[in-house]
Amino acid sequence: MDFNMKKLASDAGIFFTRAVQFTEEKFGQAEKTELDAHFENLLARADSTKNWTERILRQTEVLLQPNPSARVEEFLYEKLDRKVPSRVTNGELLAQYMAEAASELGPSTPYGKTLIKVSEAEKRLGAAERDFIHTASLSFLTPLRNFLEGDWKTISKERRLLQNRRLDLDACKARLKKAKAAEAKATCEGDTVPDFQETRPRNYILSASASALWNDEVDKAEQELRVAQTEFDRQAEVTRLLLEGISSTHVNHLRCLHEFVKSQTTYYAQCYRHMLDLQKQLGSSQGAIFPGTFVGTTEPASPPLSSTSPTTTAATMPVVPTGAGLAPPEEAALCLEEVAPPASGTRKARVLYDYEAADSSELALLADELITVYSLPGMDPDWLIGERGNKKGKVPVTYLELLS
């Protein structure tokens, strides 16, 4: 118990000394040891990394789960180390409602059949969204959260310890400065009684001269300063190494960011394929229900090839051009067999996305393959003639990246 009381008294004394030093620094009454410029830059970069990581983490969570109540529930499950229950996505819920509506309104009616087709597509979209959320959480959110809850807490702890070591060092410097000033004064005035209120007496021998007492006080202050300087330098080196590790953190976060973009690209590509399949199904059924009605996309056609750069084409999700201005499939197929490629004007093109031919006049495409393309007079600018080996057919421009 006696040992604990002594330790408590010692800790209280250290805390009081640090508090006095900190207060005097704030009021400009004490000198402060400044860190070098490189160290300050490391601190600023670490703080910036932490702040932006928190913002990116929060906004990504909003992107994956817009419902704030659901986010709070997931947060509580994680803090309690319990498995987050599976949650139905909005697409899956919509698919369920459409399937139930079709069952009640009549699955054999045109409206009921369409509801069933759309519900199946929405279910596939919901499943793709679930996979995307799971993949993004593991490959992107988890590393960011591990940094904030692991590495950053370690850095913050060492920074606080460095701050305490600096306060101890500056307090020792101030104590040594006062002791030397008092020693010089005592030397000039001869043997005098020390000012105990100023110097905090430490079991001095009252019979000794004041000059000898101050010499002892200076020696003790210098010893304490050397110890404090050593501890400060050691802690500064430890903190510096941790702060320099932020560069490795950036590399890791960059890798995770690439994984996030990859998963997001896969998700939107799946959504596009599902909706394209649904559009084809609805188009064929619409033609059977409403004979003579034009079936195609309601979006405007893509701009001409001359105004579309390869970069823009590659970054934009393709829109299937409408069939306006095209000849009937039988006539187009006949014309293509008889048409020879021009002597000049053919170009190589890389296929950006898979494309399924709608009829015999079109050429099916596989992503990343190279084909030869050219245009014919009077042809729709949204289409080109593509050749691969002995196969020939129309191909949509939005699926291609023209090469030089």
Amino acid at 160: R
In Å, what is the CA distance from 159 to each residue of 34, 150, 173, 222?
A: 14, 15, 21, 26
Dihedral (CA of 221, 227, 230, 236) sign: negative
Handedness of CA 129, 135, 136, 142 (dihedral sign): positive
Look at residue 58 in the predicted model and tell me its pLDDT. 93
pLDDT of 362 strictly over 50: yes
Give yes or no for a contact between 348 and 368, defined as CB atoms under 8 angstroms apart.
Answer: no
Q: What is the pLDDT of residue 333?
A: 43
Confidence of residue 118 (pLDDT cuts 50, 70, 90): very high
Instruction: State the DSSP H helix or E strand holding residue 370, giving kind and residue range, or none if neither.
Output: strand 370-374
At how many degrees (to 10) do helices 37-64 and 246-289 cross?
Answer: 20
Q: What would the pLDDT profile of 303-342 be if each residue is shown by its tens digit? A: 444 444 444 444 444 544 444 444 444 444 445 656 667 7
Q: Is the pTM of this model over 0.75?
A: no
Distances from the Cα of 179 to the Cα of 168, 220, 325, angstroms: 16, 10, 98
Please give the average per-residue pLDDT across 4-15, as a whole number. 63
**Higher per-residue confidence, 201 vs 153:** 153
**Which has more pLDDT, 247 or 184?**
247
State how far the Cα of 140 lies from the Cα of 159, in Å rounded to an integer. Answer: 27
pLDDT: which is higher, 212 or 242: 242
351 near 368, Cβ under 8 Å? Answer: yes
Looking at residue 11, its pLDDT comes to 61
- Residue 394's DSSP bridge partners are 362, 385
Confidence of residue 13 (pLDDT cuts 50, 70, 90): low
Check: CB of residue 380 under 8 Å from CB of residue 326. Answer: yes
Is it the case that residue 7 has pLDDT exceeding 90? no
Burial class, 122, CB count within 10 angstroms (exposed 0-12 / middle 13-18 / buried 19+): buried
Flag whether pLDDT at 22 surpasses 70.
no
Q: Are 116 and 102 in contact (CB under 8 A)?
A: yes
Label residue 301 by pLDDT band (50, 70, 90): very low
370 versus 15: which is more confidently predicted? 370
Q: How large a percentage of the chain has pLDDT more than 70?
A: 69
Position of tokens 């950006």? 352
